[in-house]
């Protein structure tokens, strides 16, 4: 048998309430670096099993949140589970009847970390005609039976193992086993074992720890945060505006970097014509792939008439923060014959740094002339060019 990914579906159990965790928030919705635990689990599964189909089984309380997450990550439509794990798995199996897979991975969302080796080992073992394959870990501590704080029996740890998920099961056999039992089982392997099916094992991974109590989360958090991959992305921005050369021009300044700088002629624009803030804004929008100023704040919309361009930069900054981006540096060039940029560059840096909540030392602003050549050389306008380097979480998966 050769199990293909298109014949496998993950049933991701996310029905926990967080009672033992001691939180009002369900543990699958706990936040790690602005991402829920279940989302971390989803991304981990998608990274390890390319193009895998995932069905989330939720509790009713969190269903709306889970539905949004499923839509965001292009998953199967989630369902509401039962009163316990056994019922939730069964409902997941039934919901897949119309387009049944050959195998299912049944996995706990409270185990956010999944190793590629364990996944590959499970698939390889299942190819040997196993009905169910599970990851296990040998016990490293001594084992005792305790009753009312008193040890009543010393147990041998020989041949005893801890059971983990995901458990890889034959879909049809697991569904039949559920249909034919009224007993509640702790997991899929114990149910299938009760039918006489052969259950085999592969070596698990200590990092596939189930988060049940708060201390479990503390133990696992270093693995979760260290597993995040970062990439550096570069955004480019450019803007140009012409001077108002009319003699009746009442403005005697230009706005650059949010600073009003004395100048004989002002710049013409739908907003305040701040070429520097416009270019920086576009460079950030380019990194987060959210269009450009013209799309978000069109000149055809009177709402933005004479707007302070700080508004545009704040919007771009919020989009960046939402995607956990961090600005490494901003390198800007303002091209004009006048005013003299070096006289105001420090003020502009300080203002921009305040808007973006970064250190002014991460911002470079240089002034260049065009040696009296062309549109700018004739003192008809000002242009700005910006490169912004940003550290982003690499959540773009290969197709």
Select from 226, 259, 284 the last residue of a domain: 226
Q: Are residues 200 and 297 in the same domain?
A: no
Distances (CA, A) of 120 to 117, 126, 165, 288: 5, 10, 13, 34
- 308 plus 282 within the same structural domain: yes
- How far, in Å, CA of 34 to CA of 28, rounded? 13
Which residues on adjacent β-strands are paired with residue 203?
A: 136
42-46, 95-99, 201-205, 296-300: range with lowest mean pLDDT: 296-300
Q: Are residues 17 and 150 in the same domain?
A: yes
CB atoms within 10 A of CB 271: 20
Q: Rounded to whole angstroms, how far apart are CA atoms 384 and 275? A: 6
24 and 48 belong to one structural domain: yes
Instruction: Give the contacts of 126 (CB within 8 A, at least 6 positions apart).
Output: 1, 3, 103, 133, 168
Q: Is the pLDDT of residue 380 over 70?
A: yes
In a domain, 39, yes or no: yes
Residue 204 sits in the same domain as residue 262:
no
* Model pLDDT, residue 322: 83
Same domain, 255 and 212: no
What does the pLDDT read at residue 159?
87
Does the structure show a pLDDT above 70 at 397? Answer: no
**Quick one: 211 and 264 in the same domain?**
no
* Top-confidence residue, 350 or 5: 350
Q: Examine the domain organization and report whether 144 and 243 are in the same domain.
A: no
pLDDT confidence of residue 398: 37
Domains held by the chain: number: 2
Residue 274 Cα to chain centre, angstroms: 33
Q: Residue 23 is part of which domain span?
A: 5-226
- We report the CATH number of the domain holding residue 157 as 3.90.550.10
Residue 75 lies in a domain: yes
How many C-beta neighbours within 10 Å does residue 196 have? 7
Same domain, 91 and 207: yes
Residue 54 lies in a domain: yes
**Cα separation of 172 and 312, whole Å?**
55
Whether residue 398 lies inside any domain: the answer is no
CATH number of the domain at 252, please: 3.30.1330.50
Q: Is residue 295 domain-resident?
A: yes
In this structure, the answer to whether residues 219 and 353 fall within a common structural domain is no
pLDDT of 352 > 60? The answer is yes
Residue 38 near residue 109, CB atoms below 8 Å: yes
Contacts of 282 (CB under 8 A, 6+ apart): 235, 236, 237, 238, 239, 292, 293, 386
What is residue 3's predicted lDDT score, i.e. its pLDDT?
Answer: 72
* Within a domain: 52: yes
Is residue 179 in a domain?
Answer: yes
Instruction: Judge whether 378 lies within some domain.
Output: yes
pLDDT for the residue 399? 31
In this structure, the answer to whether residues 345 and 211 fall within a common structural domain is no
On whether both 190 and 285 belong to a single domain, the answer is no
For 168, phi then psi, to 5°, come to -95, 120
Final residue of a structural domain among 180, 200, 226: 226
- Out of 175, 210, 226, pick the residue that ends a domain: 226
Q: Which of 21-35, 133-147, 217-231, 236-250 has the highest mean pLDDT?
A: 133-147
pLDDT recorded at residue 224: 63
Nearest-CA neighbor of 133 among 174, 81, 177, 92?
A: 174
Comparing 171-180, 260-269, 270-279, the range with the smallest average pLDDT is: 260-269
């Amino acid at each position: 048998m050769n199990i293909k990914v298109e014949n496998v579906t993950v049933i991701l159990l996310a029905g926990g309430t967080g009672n033992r965790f001691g939180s009002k928030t369900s543990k699958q919705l706990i936040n790690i670096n602005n991402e829920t635990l279940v989302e971390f689990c989803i991304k981990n599964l998608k990274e390890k099993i390319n193009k895998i189909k995932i069905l989330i089984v939720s509790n009713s309380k969190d269903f709306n949140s889970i539905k949004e997450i499923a839509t965001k990550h292009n998953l199967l439509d989630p369902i509401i589970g039962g009163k316990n794990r056994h019922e939730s798995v069964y409902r997941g199996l039934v919901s897949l009847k119309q387009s049944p897979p050959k195998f299912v991975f049944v996995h706990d969302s409270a185990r956010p970390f999944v190793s590629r080796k364990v996944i590959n080992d499970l698939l390889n073992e299942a190819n040997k005609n196993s009905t169910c394959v599970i990851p296990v870990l040998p016990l490293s501590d001594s084992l005792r039976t305790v009753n009312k704080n008193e040890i009543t029996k010393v147990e041998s740890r020989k041949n005893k193992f801890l059971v983990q998920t995901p458990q890889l099961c034959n879909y049809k056999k697991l569904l039949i086993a559920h249909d034919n039992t009224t007993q509640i089982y702790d997991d899929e392997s114990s149910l299938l074992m009760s039918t006489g099916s052969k259950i085999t094992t592969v070596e698990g991974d200590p990092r596939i720890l189930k988060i049940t109590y708060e201390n479990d989360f503390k133990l696992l958090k270093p693995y979760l945060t260290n597993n995040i991959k970062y990439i550096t992305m570069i955004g480019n921005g450019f803007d140009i505006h012409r001077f108002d050369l009319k003699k009746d021009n009442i403005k005697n300044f230009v706005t650059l970097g949010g600073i009003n700088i004395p100048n004989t002629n002002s710049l013409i624009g739908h907003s305040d014509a701040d070429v520097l803030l416009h270019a920086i804004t576009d460079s950030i929008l380019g990194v987060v792939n959210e269009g450009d100023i013209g799309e978000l704040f069109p000149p055809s919309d009177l709402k933005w008439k004479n707007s302070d361009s700080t508004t545009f930069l704040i919007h771009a900054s919020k989009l960046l923060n939402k995607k956990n981006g961090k600005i490494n540096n901003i390198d800007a060039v303002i091209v004009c014959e006048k005013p003299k940029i070096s006289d105001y560059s420090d003020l502009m840096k300080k203002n921009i740094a305040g808007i973006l909540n970064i250190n002014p030392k991460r911002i470079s602003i240089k002034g260049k002339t065009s040696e009296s050549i062309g549109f700018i050389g004739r003192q008809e306008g000002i242009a700005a060019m910006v490169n912004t380097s940003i550290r982003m979480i690499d959540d773009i998966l290969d197709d």
